[in-house]
Structure 1
Amino acid sequence: MRPLRYSINVTLDGCCHHEAGLPPDEESMRYWTAEVERADALLFGRVTYEMMESAWRRPASGAWPDWVEEWQTPFAEGMDRARKHVVSSTLDEVDWNADLVRGDVVEAVRRLKEEPGEGLWVGGVTLPAALADAGLIDEYEFLVQPVLAGHGPTLLAGLRGRIELELVDRRELRSGAVAMRYRPRPDPA
């Protein structure tokens, strides 16, 4: 069974809005590029899919827009070519190497996890909370930004129950951000 990894930028006060942390730099983009490359497929809700597509889909011209710096290109290319699964009850169709996931999301994600491969990568806010509640996330990865946002959506708000985690990796970036990787603790038997 391939693991499901949840990865997101988060501020010290728990805000997970994509603009609340530090602007991306070369080191953080290399970090996220490696994480995207580690996955067989990406799993997004509609909002995250549309946000990522608007930023990282290669234009029809084949040339990246001027705002994509050279050091961002590997991330852009990895995101553009990645296989994607999009959970949505409002979209009628998706493209950009994607398929639409409808119906019982928990069962659909269980089936995706049962496929062979190295892993699935989920981002966003709402979908990961539902998957965490269902016990489907095998690894949580937070790039904790040295920022206090003071407002905005908070990480995994509304979970139905407590999820105990164990730290499996920690890495400090020059920006002051800290990448932390956790796995759920096994239930004591």
Structure 2
Amino acid sequence: MRPLRYAINVTLDGCVHHEAGVAPDEELMGFWTAEMQRADAVLYGRTTYEMMQGAWRRPASGQWPDWMDEWEIPFAEALDRMPKHVVSNTLESVDWNAELVTGSLSDAVRRLKDQPGEGLSVGGVTLPLALADLGLIDEYTFVVHPLVAGHGPRLLDGLNEPLELDVVDRREFGSGAVAVTYRPRR
């Protein structure tokens, strides 16, 4: 069974909005690239899929955009070639090496987890909340940045039941960010 891993940047006050000022530096981008390489596929909701596609899909020209730093390219290449599963009730089709997840979310994700491989990565805000409520996430990694955003969507805000987690790894970065990996206490 492939583990389902949720990893996200978060501020000290729990904000997980991508515009909260937590853009990774070179060291953190290396961390995120390694995280991406631990997965065989990613699972996104519509919003995250469209956001990631807009930022990280290889342009038709084959050349990465000028705004992208050299140290961001390994992440972009890893995500660009990664199989993607998209949960959406509004999209009729997807591309970018992606397929739509249909039917029961619980059943569909269990089928994906039952496939052989290294793991699945889930990103975003709304979909991970639903998966956490279903007890389907096997590992959580929160990269906590030394920043108070003061507003924005909050990490797993609205969770139906508390999650009891055990720390399994911790890493500090030069920026002051700290990555902490947890597994659900079962």
Contact between 2:139 and 2:182, CA under 8 Å: does it hold in 1? yes
Contact between 2:9 and 2:22, CA under 8 Å: does it hold in 1? no
Residue correspondence of structure 1 range 66-105 to structure 2 within 5 A: 66-105=66-105
What residue identity is the alignment partner of 2:90? Answer: T
Which residue in the other structure is 2:26 paired with? 26
- Deviations 1:13-49, CA, capped at 9 Å, x for gaps: 0000012143221001000000001100000000000
Residue correspondence of structure 1 range 93-132 to structure 2 within 5 A: 93-132=93-132
Structure 1: gaps of 5 or more residues: none
- Deviations 1:77-122, CA, capped at 9 Å, x for gaps: 1110111000001001001010000221111001100001110000
**Secondary structure of the equivalent of 2:168?**
strand
Structure 2: gaps of 5 or more residues: none
Contact between 1:9 and 1:21, CA under 8 Å: does it hold in 2? no
Which residue in the other structure is 1:142 paired with? 142
Distance 2:16 2:36 in 1: 18
Give the RMSD, CA atoms, in angstroms: 0.6
Distance 2:48 2:31 in 1: 19
TM-score with structure 2 setting the length:
0.99
Contact between 1:21 and 1:146, CA under 8 Å: does it hold in 2? no
TM-score with structure 1 setting the length:
0.97
Which residue in the other structure is 1:49 paired with? 49
Which residue in the other structure is 2:175 paired with? 175
Aligned residues, how many?
A: 186
What residue identity is the alignment partner of 1:38? Answer: R
Which residue in the other structure is 1:151 paired with? 151
